[in-house]
Amino acid sequence: MKKQILITLAALLLVSPAIMAIPRPEYPRPQFQRADWVNLNGEWSFVFDFSRSGLEQGYASSEGFDGRITVPFCPESELSGVGFKDFIPAMWYQRKVEIPEAWNGRRVIIHFGAVDYNCSLFVDGQLAGRHWGGTVSFEFDITRFCKAGQTANLVLWVEDDTRSGVQPGGKQSVRFASWGCRYTRTTGIWQTVWMEAVSECGLKSVYVKPDLDGSRFVVEPRFFAVQKGLKLRATLSDGSSKPVAVACETASDASTLILNVPKKRLRTWSPDDPFLYDIVFEVLDAEGNVIDEVNSYAGMRKIHIEGNRIFLNNKTLYLRMVLDQGFYPDGIWTAPSDEALKADIERSMAVGFNAARLHQKVFEERFHYWADRLGYLTWGESSNWGANSNNEVSARNFISEWEEIVVRDRNHPSIIAWTPFNESWDRAKKVEEARCHDRMVSDVYRITHALDYRPVNDCSGGYHVVTDIWGYHNYEQNAARLIEQQTLKGDGTVPTFDPERECPYGGQPYILDEYGGIKWVIEQYSSKTWGYGKGPESLDEVYSRLEALTDAIRSLDYISGFCYTQLTDVEQEQNGIYTYDRKEKFDAARLRSILSKKPSWAEE
């Protein structure tokens, strides 16, 4: 075994990807954008640390490792230039950066779009910060570890144990190879790394809440630091020469800014018209000088629930969702380009979907940006698989990461619901284990509502504990049997997985948020190819089965929407509308005629 590892490492040392340009060069956080920033994607040095002894060996002070990797692509991916597929318990990254002279007197912040799973950053050998959670963005203030006009040596230590049972990992395989609905793993850096200069008292974040009925945006700011005399000014515009609204308040974490929108200039955000207002945030010193400026945007839309219906902008909404797992054959969890993110949304909309479940993965901010621009509704989800809901350490790991997910993404108008858990079927009937599971789910539900106003589907597919939306999964391939299974009982009871384990149904919107999964293969990626049920024998049978299943769901008036599995094939799971490498499998117009129909009660 040791000999095999040495041979593999020797081969990796020869890898040095040709960098023709910085990969993924676009600004990674378009809803909170500053002018002074540096993209740190590209070639880094690296070394695997299979024995986890790198800290003892002094790797934290390394001036460079022998391996070369292209960031932001994970080492398992081909785009990284490495393509190592086995388990990686730990690894180290290194690169040197020049701190611009013009940044003197300002904070230097380094951002990581995502690093799976926990990491420690060292700057010139000094520990600058730690982070736990493999799917969400974070930052470290490295000001005291570096100087403007000089070079800083960055070393990142990453640990990742997909098989621990206490670490969220989503659909990453816990076996050597992919199997079932588990796919190639992601380790280490898998989203853009970048740094920016920020005023000492700069704006750290904003929470922008659209209030459609009140015709206003409510802004809650947070700052890196505050001092007497500072103010925050927000300017809302709609593309015309005159601002729509301007608000200015004392710069304080306790402040609230109200941007009132005149009725004549009120434009809502919707899939039909995804209009976005531009917002400029400026921190002003006591003399009125701008010391920090952030460009942002917001959509005026309302999402709420009345009875068993979901409403968008006070009109009933029928969700025609698709399951999107966000895997790419060359980048694994990382899209090869910004255009690829946009194109996946366009592919989905082209065949008649108006929304997506972003399944078992936290999508990068650029995806949400394109969803905002294109008018594509989504449910924000986590990668909860891998974290045992009956384990208290697992619960702690999940909750801290989930809080960061919600706070990062809650300003996106395209996100209309949160789904923290998927198929939490490890809830045991043993009282003590069920209690741990139920506490975790109810705590996450409560925390989510404390952080944001959107409805929460506590656990797509069950087991529900406390929820605003009742999600249910049914992969029955015969339409008549599907109707029989989904027809309400005489007492009005809805289908559930296990009434003894789930909370009682309380009249929430009922969504069949996984169905279909029809296997159709035009390019086989694996000898273990699969889909749900017996695969059709002809292309016409695919269309007829899809239409029958979808019409069956649509005929049941108590159901408020569906989610078809899935947008693209993913490795051995080949039940996508498109192939894994995004080739068309079906006629888009014919699919659109099937999927875009809505029931008579839907107003959107």
Burial of residue 253 (number of CB atoms within 10 Å: 0-12, 13-18, 19+): exposed
At 193-247, the pLDDT tens digits run 999 999 999 999 999 999 999 999 999 999 999 999 999 999 999 999 899 999 9
* Element (DSSP H or E) covering residue 338: helix 338-350
Written as one letter, the residue type at 25 is: P
Mean pLDDT of 18-31: 85
Q: What is the pLDDT of residue 4?
A: 38
Q: What is the pLDDT of residue 5?
A: 41
**Do residue 345 and residue 413 come from a single domain?**
yes
**Do residue 466 and residue 531 come from a single domain?**
yes
Distance between CA atoms of residues 535 and 195, nearest Å: 49
**Do residue 170 and residue 255 come from a single domain?**
no
SS3 at position 263: helix
* Element (DSSP H or E) covering residue 343: helix 338-350
Domain of 333: which CATH number?
3.20.20.80
Residue ranges of alpha helices (H) inside 375-523 are 392-409, 431-451, 479-486
Q: What is the pLDDT of residue 427?
A: 62
Distance between CA atoms of residues 108 and 234, nearest Å: 24
**Do residue 175 and residue 210 come from a single domain?**
no
Find, among 193, 8, 203, the residue nearest to 119 by Cα.
193
**Do residue 209 and residue 222 come from a single domain?**
yes
Q: What is the separation, in whole angstroms, between the first and last Cα of the chain?
A: 60
* Domain termination residue (choose one: 141, 171, 198): 198
Distance between CA atoms of residues 136 and 466, nearest Å: 25
Q: Is the predicted pLDDT of residue 462 greater than 90, yes or no?
A: no
At 588-598, the pLDDT tens digits run 999 999 999 99
Burial of residue 504 (number of CB atoms within 10 Å: 0-12, 13-18, 19+): exposed
C-alpha pair distances (Å), 130 with each of 115, 139, 146: 11, 10, 17
**Do residue 28 and residue 76 come from a single domain?**
yes
Q: Which residue has the tokens 């020049």?
A: 98
Find, among 213, 205, 221, the residue nearest to 34 by Cα.
205
**Do residue 174 and residue 217 come from a single domain?**
no
SS3 at position 591: helix
Dihedral over Cα of 95, 100, 104, 107: its sign? negative
SS3 at position 413: coil
| Phi/psi at 43 (5° precision) | -80, 125
For 181, the token pair is: 């609905």
∠ CA 306-309-311, rounded to 5°: 75
Is 58 domain-assigned? yes
C-alpha pair distances (Å), 413 with each of 261, 343, 374, 392: 17, 19, 11, 33
**Do residue 272 and residue 315 come from a single domain?**
no
Is 164 domain-assigned? yes
With bands split at pLDDT 50, 70 and 90, how would you rate the model's confidence at 13? Answer: very low
* Domain termination residue (choose one: 198, 215, 235): 198
Q: Is the predicted pLDDT of residue 289 greater than 90, yes or no?
A: yes
The answer to whether residues 477 and 518 touch, using CB atoms and an 8 Å cutoff, is: yes
Average pLDDT, the chain: 94
Distance between CA atoms of residues 192 and 408, nearest Å: 15
Is 37 domain-assigned? yes
SS3 at position 296: strand
- The full DSSP string for 512-564 is EEEEE-B---SS---TT-B-BSSPPSSHHHHHHHHHHHHHHHHH-TTEEEEEE
At 372-428, the pLDDT tens digits run 999 999 999 999 998 877 788 999 999 999 999 999 999 999 999 999 999 987 665
Written as one letter, the residue type at 92 is: W
**Do residue 582 and residue 481 come from a single domain?**
yes
Find, among 427, 281, 419, the residue nearest to 362 by Cα.
419
With bands split at pLDDT 50, 70 and 90, how would you rate the model's confidence at 47? Answer: very high
Dihedral over Cα of 51, 155, 134, 389: its sign? positive
Is 601 domain-assigned? no
**Do residue 385 and residue 473 come from a single domain?**
yes
**Do residue 121 and residue 207 come from a single domain?**
no
Distance between CA atoms of residues 223 and 422, nearest Å: 35
Is 600 domain-assigned? no
Q: What is the pLDDT of residue 12?
A: 42
At 107-141, the pLDDT tens digits run 999 999 999 999 999 999 999 999 999 999 999 99
Domain of 158: which CATH number?
2.60.120.260
- Answering whether pTM is above 0.75, one says yes
Q: What is the pLDDT of residue 497?
A: 84
| Phi/psi at 446 (5° precision) | -65, -45
With bands split at pLDDT 50, 70 and 90, how would you rate the model's confidence at 15? Answer: very low
Domain total in the chain: 3
Quick one: the chain helix, strand, coil %, rounded to 5? 20, 30, 50
* Domain termination residue (choose one: 248, 276, 298): 298
Distance between CA atoms of residues 348 and 350, nearest Å: 5
Q: What is the pLDDT of residue 426?
A: 66
Is 144 domain-assigned? yes
At 494-548, the pLDDT tens digits run 988 888 888 999 999 999 999 999 999 998 888 889 999 999 999 999 999 999 9
- Let me know how long the chain is: 604
Q: Is the predicted pLDDT of residue 3 greater than 70, yes or no?
A: no
The answer to whether residues 514 and 323 touch, using CB atoms and an 8 Å cutoff, is: yes
Question: What domain range includes position 114?
Answer: 2-198
Dihedral over Cα of 389, 390, 391, 396: its sign? positive
Q: In the chain, pLDDT over 90 holds for what percent of residues?
A: 87
The answer to whether residues 247 and 193 touch, using CB atoms and an 8 Å cutoff, is: no
Q: Is the predicted pLDDT of residue 466 greater than 80, yes or no?
A: yes
SS3 at position 350: helix
Is 602 domain-assigned? no
Is 454 domain-assigned? yes
**Do residue 178 and residue 248 come from a single domain?**
no
At 298-329, the pLDDT tens digits run 999 999 999 999 999 999 999 999 999 999 99
For 570, the token pair is: 């993913």
Q: Which residues, other chains included, contact 123 with Cβ-Cβ below 8 Å and sequence gap of 6+?
A: 142, 145, 146, 152, 153, 154, 155
Domain of 245: which CATH number?
2.60.40.10
Q: What is the pLDDT of residue 387?
A: 84
Mean pLDDT of 273-282: 98
Burial of residue 527 (number of CB atoms within 10 Å: 0-12, 13-18, 19+): exposed
